[in-house]
Chain A
Amino acid sequence: MSLLESFKGIVGEVNVSEGQIDRLVYSSDASRQKGSAELIVWPVNVEQIHKIIMMARRGNTAIMPRGAGTSMGNAVPSDDIVLDVSKMNHILNVGEGFVEAEAGAALQDINKAIGSRFFPVQPESKKACTIGGMIASNAIGVKALEFGRMENWVEEVTMVDGNGMCLKLKGEALKHVVGMQGSTGIIVSARLKLLKMEDEKSISLLGFNTLTAMQEKLEELNKDTSARNIEFLDDICSEILGFAPKIHLIVEYEGSKGNLKEAEAREVWSAREQLPFLLGQRKHLAADDLLLPFESIPKFLHVLRKDNVPCYGPIGMGILYPVFREDNSMAERFRALYRQFGAKQGVKYGHGKRKHTMDDENSKRFLELKAHYDPKNLFSRGKLI
């Protein structure tokens, strides 16, 4: 029996396809890299996922899990089955300080369902990104310095591993799934921590004429415990957002230390959230996500500025996003320089299938996890290793 027929027996005729258009659509994602999907399957519950995995084990068939396909990290399949969890989008329970949802639930729907509480990790793709994808990529939100990444806000993950076991991962074991790019199992659902609405905050928008002046202020701010978020905008990004054409730092303070309050402060953050799209409208669509040592930042920004490459990001964490045009080769030239600045790529979008190096310790840890959870290497082949 063909794989298609076998899967029909599991999920029903309408929830599996190897049609040309379905395969084309599922061969790509927001990174716009082109892969190749062999077949697409849309399970609706954990039992179906278990059966799909057991079937894939028998035929040694690779599975690429997929959420909303908003990843910028090249998470496209290479002749794999795509397992799309979009039909598992239910919000299961909203309680005091937590929400439980299936992997395919969109963050936007969760934001609506949790009422007066809020979930702190809000990436720019919040309109569409799913909980499963956010966990797999250990997503980072706009206010990253204050709230950190998904790993700080996940309490429990239910997943089906490559042995077909349905596991509930908590505590230390969450490291075996959060940020693993779907390499250890198919995320089925998760329990996330929520916060009460944010305390009073204010912001200051600080302008600088030189990178040196900005760096001096940044060093000072890094010692200021009331500075909760520090976001960098170069002069190109500042101008796009309607600010003066200077380098800016958006500094969010706990309490009323900043000079912009409530509505004005919200306006500045809202403008910042639009920045990747405004850059995209100007053909700057290829964003990289870099973690840099603080001492390298001024030199790195200086090199970008010489070639008019826009750059922004939560500089308080040492993270920057240079954004290249897709229609020239400048990105490749810069990527060759990243190592010289001590920059690590993949801090926001995950590694996907982008070229990267993993140090020996991480590589060993990853292989041990793979051997435990996915000994037949069914999931996300080509990602991470």
Chain B
Amino acid sequence: MKCVECGLCRTKCPVFRAVLKETASPRAKGMLLNREMNEKLFFFCTLCGMHEQECPYCADLQILKQREKLIKSGVSLSRGKQMTDNIKEHGHPFAGKNL
């Protein structure tokens, strides 16, 4: 089911609890999805799945799918790029040669 934008997910979302702005809430991602907008905001999620537990409508926010689309269209976060560069260069995602 699509997000109905009720906002009941926000209190338990760790990203919202840290930032305390509606834009950081799962509902904000649901709003973007409902308006067929794909934005960097989809990277702003820990993928902990808490919103799925809290959502009374079992809405699917498609976070990974949206991220995949963003990356394919050349949009990524600088930290993500740094991580993939590290993997290519050192075989692991962390900076430096030795783990």
Establish whether residues B21 and A70, one from each chain, have CB atoms under 8 Å apart when the complex forms. Answer: no
How far in angstroms is the closest Cβ of chain B from A187? 17
Q: Which residues of A contact B4 (CB under 8 A)?
A: 32, 280, 285
> Which of B5-13, B66-74, B83-91 interfaces with chain A?
B5-13
Q: Are B20 and A125 in contact (CB under 8 A)?
A: no
Query: Is the Cβ of A69 less than 8 Å from the Cβ of B11?
Result: no
Query: Would B22 and A86 count as touching, CB distance under 8 A?
Result: yes
Q: Out of A42, A109, A128, A277, which one reaches B7, CB within 8 Å?
A: A128
Using known A-B contacts A21-B39, A274-B56, A281-B57, determine if residue A89 contacts B7 with beta carbons closer than 8 Å.
Answer: no
Q: Is the CB of B57 within 8 A of A277?
A: yes
A6, CB-defined interface residue at 8 Å = no
Say whether B39 contacts A70, CB under 8 Å: no
Quick check: is B31 within 8 A (CB to CB) of the other chain?
A: yes
Shortest beta-carbon distance from B70 to chain A in Å: 14
Cβ of B52 under 8 Å from chain A: no
Do B56 and A86 touch (CB < 8 A)?
no
The reply to whether A28 and B31 form a contact with Cβ atoms under 8 Å apart is yes
Nearest to A20 among chain B residues (CB) is B39
CB distance from A74 to the nearest CB of B (A): 13
The contact of B28 among A25, A66, A89, by CB within 8 Å, is: A25
> What residue of chain A has the Cβ atom nearest to residue B9's Cβ?
A128
Contact with A along B45-66 (1 / 0, CB 8 A): 0000000001011100000000
Q: Which residue of A lies closest to B10 (CB)?
A: A128
Q: How far is the CA of A68 from the CA of B9 in the complex (A)?
A: 11
A294 and B22 CA atoms in complex are apart in Å by 41
**Contact yes or no, A24 B57, CB < 8 A:** no
Chain B: minimal CB distance from A108 (Å): 5
Chain A residue with minimal CB distance to B39?
A21
Q: Which of B1, B11, B27 interacts with A127 by CB under 8 Å?
A: B11
Q: CB distance B6 to A125 under 8 Å?
A: yes
Complex: A378 Cα to B39 Cα, angstroms: 33
Q: How far does the alpha carbon of A24 sit from the alpha carbon of B35 in the complex, in Å?
A: 10
Q: Is chain B's binding surface mostly helix, strand, loop or mixed?
A: loop
Report chain B residues within 8 Å CB of A28: 5, 31
- A119, B21: Cα distance in complex, Å: 26
Residues of A within 8 A of B22 (CB): 25-26, 66, 69, 84, 86
Counting chain A CB atoms within 10 Å of each CB, the highest count among B11, B31, B37 belongs to B11
A42, B20: Cβ atoms under 8 Å? yes
Q: Give the residues in chain B near A86, CB-CB below 8 Å.
A: 20-22
Q: Does A106 contact B (CB under 8 A)?
A: yes
Residues of B within 8 A of A274 (CB): 56
A30 near B21 with CB under 8 A, answer no
Chain B positions 10 through 37: 1 when the CB is less than 8 Å from some CB of chain A, otherwise 0:
1110000000111100011001100101
User: Smallest distance from the beta carbon of A257 to chain B beta carbons, Å?
Assistant: 32
A117 interface contact, C-beta 8 A: no
Indicate the member of A40, A84, A108, A277 with the most B CB atoms within 10 Å: A277
* Residue in B closest to A88 when the chains form the complex, CB atoms: B20
At the interface, yes or no: A22 with Cβ under 8 Å from chain B? yes
Residue pair A280, B56 in contact (C-beta under 8 Å):
yes
B-contact 0/1 string along A307-319, CB 8 Å cutoff: 0000000000000
Q: Is A87 an interface residue (CB 8 A)?
A: yes
* Contact, CB under 8 Å: B31 / A70: no
A36 to chain B, nearest CB (A): 14
Q: Is A100 an interface residue, CB under 8 A from the partner?
A: no
Nearest neighbor of A125 in chain B, beta-carbon distance: B8
Q: Which residues on the A side are within 8 Å of B58 (C-beta)?
A: 281
Q: Are A21 and B11 in contact, with the CB atoms below 8 A? A: no
Contacts of A30 in B (CB 8 A): 5-7
Residues of A within 8 A of B11 (CB): 68, 106, 108-109, 127-128
Within the complex, what minimum Cβ distance (angstroms) separates A113 from chain B?
A: 13
Min CB gap B24→A, angstroms: 9
Given A21-B41, A24-B31, A84 and B7 touching (CB < 8 A)? Answer: no
Q: Which residues of A contact B21 (CB under 8 A)?
A: 22, 40, 42, 84, 86
Judged by a CB distance under 8 angstroms, whether A29 is at the interface is: yes
The residues of A with any CB-CB pair to B shorter than 8 Å are 21-22, 24-26, 28-30, 32, 40, 42, 66, 68-70, 84, 86-87, 89, 104, 106, 108-109, 125, 127-128, 274, 277, 280-281, 285
